[in-house]
A and B are shown apart, each in its own frame.
Chain A
Amino acid sequence: MGPDIPWYLAVSSILFAIGVGGVLLRRSPLIVLLSLEIMLNAANLAFVGFSRLHGEMDGQIFALSVMAVAASEVCVGLGLIVAMARRRLDLDVDAFTELRG
């Protein structure tokens, strides 16, 4: 037997906090998107850990669904970033203060 589930949850919460820090601190939309991925994966780790704890596979199903949603989110997010770059806007989240294109 390896480590208990609380160890997984501890890693998951530390990883989530790292992701939150990245989203709040960084200015490049690319890095914000990468930090968002870290947060999603931290949640996934908690899902898989709880799934093992209860001996039910539903948590893993949820983790897989989260993966699919994350892939969609990356697709749209990167599309937005490329569109911004093509319109020659600054790639800086602090510069985007209005929706008007």
Chain B
Amino acid sequence: MGNFLTWVVWLLAAAACLGTGLRVVTAANPFSSALSLIGNLASLAVLYLLASGEFVAAAQVLVYAGAVMVMFLFVIAYLGGRADAPWAGGTRLIQAAAVVAAVSLLAVTLVAVGLEAGDQLSNEAEVTRAFGSPAGIGELFLTDHLLAFEITSIVLLVAAIGGVVLGMRSQSEQDADRAEAAP
């Protein structure tokens, strides 16, 4: 029974994940694209949970579906109607080439996974309940992966500074605004 239920939840999450993913790419309105991505991230969190990645799932919902997507929605609201760029770019030939590239990439990875599915990829390791817990993740971050942890913090700092610099109004823009305001 537990087995069956896990499959049902997994299939629902996977279907929601692929459906919302497709909607992100195909929707004409950027706002509905961003909302679909939130659904996509949430259903991915369910898949992480089923693969015993509890902390990753929690971080996914908090950081991604929460903070990052709020930023996206804010920018889309700020841009308003300007966010609606034409749907697809290039000539018909370029569009067809893009689809062919995506599909062939998919075929290659699916065949590679399918070939190994029987033996190597199916011998799952036994894990304890502590697998993927915040305690385990935190310990690994502060011992084996301390350098990655520190570099990540520097990357975030640099990105924050970059965001501020990009958001600053340049002198010429200020002059232009002033000229516009004073008739």
Q: Residues of A with Cβ closer than 8 Å to B?
A: 1-11, 13-22, 24-31, 33-35, 37-38, 41, 44-45, 48-49, 51-58, 60-61, 63-65, 67-76, 78-83, 85-87, 90-94
A63 to B78, CA, bound (A): 31
Q: How far is the CB of A66 from chain B (nearest CB, A)?
A: 10
Least CB separation from B60: chain A residue:
A67
- With A2-B6, A78-B75 known, 20 other A-B pairs at CB within 8 A are A9-B121, A15-B21, A17-B105, A17-B109, A20-B105, A21-B98, A25-B88, A31-B25, A31-B30, A34-B72, A54-B125, A55-B125, A60-B56, A61-B140, A61-B145, A74-B68, A75-B163, A79-B166, A83-B166, A85-B78
**Docked pose: A26 CA to B95 CA in angstroms:** 9
- The residue in chain B whose Cβ has the minimal distance to the Cβ of A76 is B162
Contact of A64 (CB < 8 Å), options: B7, B59, B88, B90: B59
Min C-beta distance of B54 to chain A, whole Å: 9
Contacting pair A38 B40 (CB below 8 A): yes
Contact A69-B155, Cβ < 8 Å, known A5-B121, A18-B22:
yes
Q: Name the A residues within 8 Å of B47 (CB-CB).
A: 8, 11, 45, 48
Partner of A92, one of B56, B86, B123, B140: B86
Residues of A within 8 A of B136 (CB): 57
For residue B53, give the distance in angstroms from its CB to the closest CB of chain A: 4
Chain B positions near chain A (C-beta within 8 angstroms): 3, 6-7, 9-10, 14, 17-18, 21-22, 24-25, 30, 33-34, 37, 40-41, 44, 47-48, 50-53, 55-56, 59-60, 63-64, 67-68, 71-72, 75-76, 78-79, 82-90, 95, 98-99, 101-103, 105-106, 109-110, 113-114, 116-117, 121-127, 131-132, 136-137, 140-141, 144-145, 148, 152, 155-156, 158-160, 162-163, 165-167, 169, 173
Which residues on B sit within 8 Å (CB–CB) of A31?
24-25, 30, 33, 85
B30 contacts A28, C-beta separation under 8 Å: yes
**8 A-B contacts (beta carbon < 8 Å):** A8-B47, A14-B106, A18-B24, A21-B99, A25-B98, A60-B55, A68-B155, A91-B79
Instruction: Report B-chain residues with C-beta under 8 Å of the C-beta of A60.
Output: 53, 55-56, 132, 137
B79 CB contact (under 8 Å) in A8, A17, A55, A81:
A81
| Shortest distance between the CB of A3 and any CB in chain B (Å) | 5
Q: A82 to B71, Cβ gap below 8 A? A: no
When the two chains form their complex, are residues A35 and B25 in contact, meaning their CB atoms are under 8 A apart?
Answer: yes
* Contact status of A78 and B71, CB under 8 A, knowing A21-B99, A51-B53: yes
User: What chain B residues lie within 8 Å of A37 (beta carbons)?
Assistant: 37, 64, 68
